[in-house]
Chains A and B, each alone.
Chain A
């Protein structure tokens, strides 16, 4: 023991011989800690692990540096299946006393086998999951999980207790008792286990009332002393009369009882074994079936996805090779260009181009297609625009403004640089008293051809319209 003040080794005196500090109380605390450690050790020796746990924790509350107590606490945790709690105690112990510490060996043994450590962690996770299942009232799932946990870590006391509680809830008292006995084998004096055991025994024990008459019958006997021996002669028992037939009858009855015993004892156990086996098979098959169902759903999803892709591709093919597909439109463009070169019929070429532009987006087509389309459009555009402009002017003069608007728009479509058509469009709208469209036409003219002759006039008209004069 060392002084808390100067670290000097303490003697049997109540003060430190190094610094003179009063260490009587300090020594007493250390003694109490050691006393609790000894108590914990004794309890651990007789497998009272939960009792040992309490004593060792007490010991550490008095002296956190009691390395033996901490290491033993870790061992007790480990024995109860609480591996992580055990590791935590050993790590702290190693930290407090790095040299010649047995905790180092314990940590090494646990950590050297990575798969074992992983398995331990899985066990803990499964136990926690089982607890969640219990909370959610999925008791069957919880039982399956706990059985898995206990097959991996048979010393996990909490898991045994929880499983026995589930059995008790199911009123399967025999299985509950079996689990509790396993708990007691690990930890003899666990209060929770003993409480459950008491409850299970109460349920399993036959009625007291049934036992009473038997005891009374025992008392109905004559007792007397003969020399040094006490003779007890029951009153209800009579000496049987021995005869050959009776012996044979007894043998027959014995054989019958033997068969009966086999039938009633061995057959149910065999049946229960078969039942268990079948149950396990069912669980296995159900697991496999679940896996296959998931796989089927996955494959069905894949099929649906592939069907969607096929439909998409078919639509794409239709877009290429169908009646109004890209290939057909390319052919139309070639035919239109060839016909125009041969006959010079601008109107026919314009109709062809319009049909193509209705079916495809020219800007999204190949470079060659766009080039041919624009070349042809550029060749026929100005002449057609002039023709439409002339026709539009005629309609304007006759007062057919709606037709004039249509023709001026066509003239602008075929030649964007046709200032006259744009100006006339504005004027026609003005005549139709459609100020909004008229202003839009003038604005377009002012924006595109600000230096043209018509720009000044258009501005004047526009301003007049805008001010509502």
Chain B
């Protein structure tokens, strides 16, 4: 049985034209590719740091 009040909670106000700019700015644009690239770069930095003491010795 459908409960009207419960169902009503599933509806959300639609975006108005005035809010479009804010919605675009607030959109989280981070994707998996960004995360991967970041992880690779962090790993590279870590590897370099680990290697440096060996070079001194």
Interface residues of A in 11-27 (CB under 8 A from B): 21-22, 25-26
Q: Give every chain A residue within 8 A of B37 (Cβ-Cβ).
A: 4-5, 26
Smallest CB-CB A-B distances: 6 pairs:
A84-B15, A64-B31, A128-B13, A121-B17, A169-B4, A62-B32
Minimum C-beta distance from B2 to chain A (A) = 5
Residue of B nearest to A176 (CB): B2
Instruction: Enumerate 28 A-B pairs (CB-CB under 8 Å) in ascending A order.
Output: A5-B37, A22-B40, A25-B36, A26-B33, A30-B33, A32-B32, A60-B31, A61-B31, A62-B31, A63-B32, A64-B33, A64-B34, A84-B20, A87-B20, A88-B20, A88-B23, A88-B27, A91-B24, A124-B15, A125-B16, A131-B11, A131-B12, A131-B13, A134-B8, A165-B2, A168-B4, A169-B4, A195-B2
Residue of A nearest to B31 (CB): A64
Q: Give every chain A residue within 8 A of B52 (Cβ-Cβ).
A: none
> B-contacting residues of A (Cβ < 8 Å)?
4-5, 21-22, 25-26, 29-30, 32-33, 60-65, 82, 84-85, 87-88, 91-92, 117, 120-121, 124-125, 127-128, 131, 134-135, 158, 161-162, 165, 168-169, 192, 195-196, 199
Q: How far is the CA of A249 from the CA of B12 in the complex (A)?
A: 62
Q: How far is the CA of A421 from the CA of B26 in the complex (A)?
A: 87
Q: How far is the CA of A62 from the CA of B33 in the complex (A)?
A: 6
Q: Give every chain A residue within 8 A of B36 (Cβ-Cβ).
A: 4, 25-26, 29
- Is B29 an interface residue when CB atoms closer than 8 A count as contact? yes
Counting contact residues on chain B (CB < 8 A from A), the size range is 20 to 34
Q: How far is the CA of A64 from the CA of B32 in the complex (A)?
A: 9
Interface residues of B in 1-55 (CB under 8 A from A): 1-2, 4, 7-8, 10-20, 23-24, 27, 29-34, 36-37, 40
Q: How far is the CA of A33 from the CA of B33 in the complex (A)?
A: 10
Q: Give every chain B residue within 8 A of A33 (Cβ-Cβ).
A: 32
**Cross-chain contact A124 with B2 (CB below 8 angstroms):** no
